Structure 1
Amino acid sequence: MQQEKTVKKSRPLLSFFQILAALSSLAMLYFLYHAQILPIYLFGFIAIFYFLLVALLVIISRKINLLVILIILDILLNLAFTFVFYKYNDYFSKISPNETYFEKYSLVALKDSDLSKSTSENIAPLGILTSDPYFDTVKQYLTTTEGNRPDLLKTPIEETNIKTYDNLLTLTTALTTPKTVNDKLQTIFLGHTYLDTLKDNNESVYNQLQILADVEIKVTPKHVETTTHASLDTPFTIYLSGIDNRDHTLPFAARSDVNLIMVVNPAKHKILLLNTPRDFYVPLAMNGKLDKLTHAGLYGVNESIHTLENFYNIKFNYYARINFDATSTIIDQLGGVDVHIPYIVNTYHGHRHYEPGNYHLNGDEALDFARERVSISWAGGDRERGRNQEKIITALLQKLQQDKTNLTKLDQIFNSIAKNIQTNFTPDDLKY
């Protein structure tokens, strides 16, 4: 008797949860359909399961224990799919390039100048680059007192004392060997990627310089311009840019050491990879002047994209930029990659030696192999390095395809590389 009374008292509450569970299941099915993140066959399977679950929730009313189990199962399923939605959108929010972050800059003078880090002398006239993708932000920083700044930059600089230059050579020449006294600069203000380029390409000039102050400026990357693509059911192109940044970050403007065009044909399940060596001289989109392709990245990813578009007469639909650190991490988390090396290789990075044969490489080993150029100069040097980079990417794709358990590691991979990858892919782009 007591048990029957308890059941009668609990029935209205169970009925409420019964209706709530049925409605929430239908709502979840509706959101799954419109989100389109699942292939149609998988959505169909889930839809059938949900309809059966809802039918059972509606039909069963007397078997209290079974009803409670079904309600709990329904709640757990809805929570699971809610978590999937959250993680799916969280992945893309982490790798979105449209966030505000801090870019490193340096105030630079000649070593033999009267200026020093503790100087109270005037640092003007000061030179900056118009080709800097953050030119307007840099100019505003120098002419105001906003933000944290070292003593040397606490006093705003008059605009008339800021001289602009369109390339690194003319800027550094005005500092080191000006044509006239009127052309002479006291200091220059440069982003760290430009300083790295100067060190690599003109070490004699770099050795004449001293850094008076380092600062971090809050910047917002420019919108990346690509051609809109209606559907991933039709062929599309992706620009893949590999960044070898010394401080293991991914600034929006940096030399692009790997430049791959990926053409994807979903209908035929085909992917074409085309590598353009980083040291090839190509006309820059911004001015038509010949420069190394890697230097296009110094002016932002837009410049790399448009330079390659003009060179090959194509249009990119998407882009992805990845730091070499992230590449190594992905390979390690997938358990390494298998590649065939057809000749002797002695890598400059990592000092590794390979005889001809098949190898299973971890992240660092694969990265060192993909970066090697000097010891394979007889085989094509920069071109052969590009082909080896394609080998590593192909091996990665094969690893994902052959071992389906690797798909379960995507959460771990995304969390570990989020700060080292940028792309304009959105959740909507990946809908089925």
Structure 2
Amino acid sequence: MHVAQLLAAEAIDAVLTGRNLSSAIEAVLKHHSHITPQQRGAMQDLSYGTLRHYGQLQALLSPLLQKPLSNTRLRCLLLVALYQLQQDRAGAHTVVDQAVQAAGSFKPQWAKGLVNAILRNFLRQRDALLAAIQNDDVASYSYPQWWINKLRKQYPQDWQAMLLAGNQHPPMSLRVNLRQTSMADYVARLDAQGISADVVGDSALLLHKPLPVERIPGFSSGEVSVQDAGAQLAAPLLDAQDGMRVLDACCAPGGKTGHLLELARLDLLALDSDALRLQRVKSNLDRLNLQATLLAADAAQPDGWWDGRPFDRILADVPCTASGIVRRHVDIKWLRREADVASFAQQQARILPALWQLLAKGGKLLYVTCSVFHEENQSQIDGFIKQQVDARQLPLSSPMLPPQGQLHPAAHHDGFFYAMLQKI
């Protein structure tokens, strides 16, 4: 386990200097290809868990250090071990011994002694240390203070529940491809293989226990996809009918693209600014045996790619802070800055009117974010409608969604915002 601790510390150190966790883990694994699958899994679990609770762990570590550690990776190793002791409730002596062993790989000869002393001091002082930080918001919720303040102001009744939901392990939901099988038949297939799941939507299943995709029946043949139940609302809401010309803007990684094509036979253009991410869209469509026109281009600059033919439906799944899906991307909490909210809002304000000019009269545009911040959601829509006299906001037709379209992160789904606009 000391190898997993060491590699997790390396990945976390990269995140705290600005790299996203997925690419940090990928880089670490590339340089340590000799590790076992068990070590790889443990390293990933420790990386996600430590960053999920980073606010608390940092507050616990600081008073145990006589002065700040200049070796940031050694500091991250201590955070990983504290996570195991505090959140994993792993065997204390084993965790300490493994962390001391991991510290032996650092050049400072005093590293092992320092790690041993700090972790044993934590075990002796745990109750007092926890009591000392109980009124610290960042330590209590493990979010930056600006994030906590924003949610407290925008959601005075729900902010605590939203923060806590974002610190839970994410659920694993499946989307059944109703072109290939029925919900009843697929549920029976899962039951026959001892896999428990709850039906949470017309095509959505919530697994009781997450599974690797290779163990999900029918995944490789396109009978089912992995997609959050909240994200599965997009395609039905868009109400695209057979034969319609549809634009899926900002489409990568392609979950909503595939769902649209499962629901109707469409002339669909899937657009994304990142050509590499479009390769993943193609891979998903190939697995589902579905087809769309894929194009790498900027949704905010249609003059460079639009052929002049209007679209009947547009799915505008715009870039955002991803504040509604932090339990899946735990690094977001620590990489985002408050100024990023305004920056994303400005980007959205460029994309939305650019796409609007491509929409046919009477057509519908579904605006989607995976954010919970008002600036990116209803405030964005309100500002747009004031500027566009031919735009009106329609009520949403999903029983899962509240009237205002803001889906809070909860046990069965992540946080999303939906708004339906029609050109009149």
- Asked whether the two chains share a fold, i.e. TM above 0.5, the reply is no
**TM-score normalised to structure 1 length:** 0.25
Bigger fraction of residues in strand: 1
Name the larger-Rg structure: 1
Higher RCO (Cα < 8 Å, 6 or more apart): 1
**TM-score normalised to structure 2 length:** 0.25
